[in-house]
């Protein structure tokens, strides 16, 4: 399936990505540094949603999730001014995600810069979320 976003098509052409790499639902999965997986999903109005898994919380209770999210929300206050991405909780799937939307009017360079910043923030949030999960687990063991 060919991507519906002209910006995504431009990105794929510039980076030699085979159009057959696009999933039936329109998403394109990219890997960075052999570690970070980012999904690019074209939205109906031409914007592109960037999304990545930060932490699987599917086996956590609601209270465990809330206890871990409070410190992460405090971290978010410190970075949201300088970065366009945001944490999102998908409670149905049990996943903490990092998401961002790139304007349909963005240039190829702006999309590439947004992806670079997104991957850097993904590394930050992944480390922060794992640290909070470990802290939560250690507190549960001490109790």
Find the helix packing angle between 108-142 and 6-14, rounded to 10°: 90
Domain topology for 6-142: Yope Regulator; Chain: A, (3.30.1460)
**What mean pLDDT do residues 31-56 have?**
94
Rounded Cα–Cα distance for residues 84 and 49 (Å): 12
The model's confidence at residue 1, banded by pLDDT at 50, 70 and 90, is: low
**What mean pLDDT do residues 43-50 have?**
93
pLDDT, residue 131, reads: 87
pLDDT, residue 48, reads: 96
**What mean pLDDT do residues 22-26 have?**
91
Rounded Cα–Cα distance for residues 90 and 28 (Å): 20
The domain spans of the chain are 6-142
Look at residue 138 and tell me whether its pLDDT is greater than 90.
Answer: no
pLDDT, residue 143, reads: 67
**What mean pLDDT do residues 102-109 have?**
96
pTM as predicted: 0.88
pLDDT, residue 96, reads: 93
């Amino acid at each position: 399936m060919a991507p519906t976003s002209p910006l995504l098509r431009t990105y794929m052409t510039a980076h030699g990505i085979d159009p057959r790499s696009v999933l039936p639902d329109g998403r394109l999965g990219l890997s960075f540094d052999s570690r970070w997986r980012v999904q690019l999903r074209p939205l109906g109005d031409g914007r592109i949603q960037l999304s990545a898994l930060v932490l699987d919380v599917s086996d956590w209770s609601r209270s465990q999730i809330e206890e871990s999210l409070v410190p992460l929300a405090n971290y978010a206050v410190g970075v949201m001014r300088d970065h366009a991405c945001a944490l999102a909780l998908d409670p149905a799937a049990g996943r903490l995600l990092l998401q961002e939307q790139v304007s349909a009017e963005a240039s190829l360079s702006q999309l590439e810069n947004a992806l670079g910043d997104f991957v850097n923030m993904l590394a930050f949030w992944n480390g922060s979320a794992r640290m909070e999960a470990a802290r939560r687990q250690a507190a549960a063991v001490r109790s």
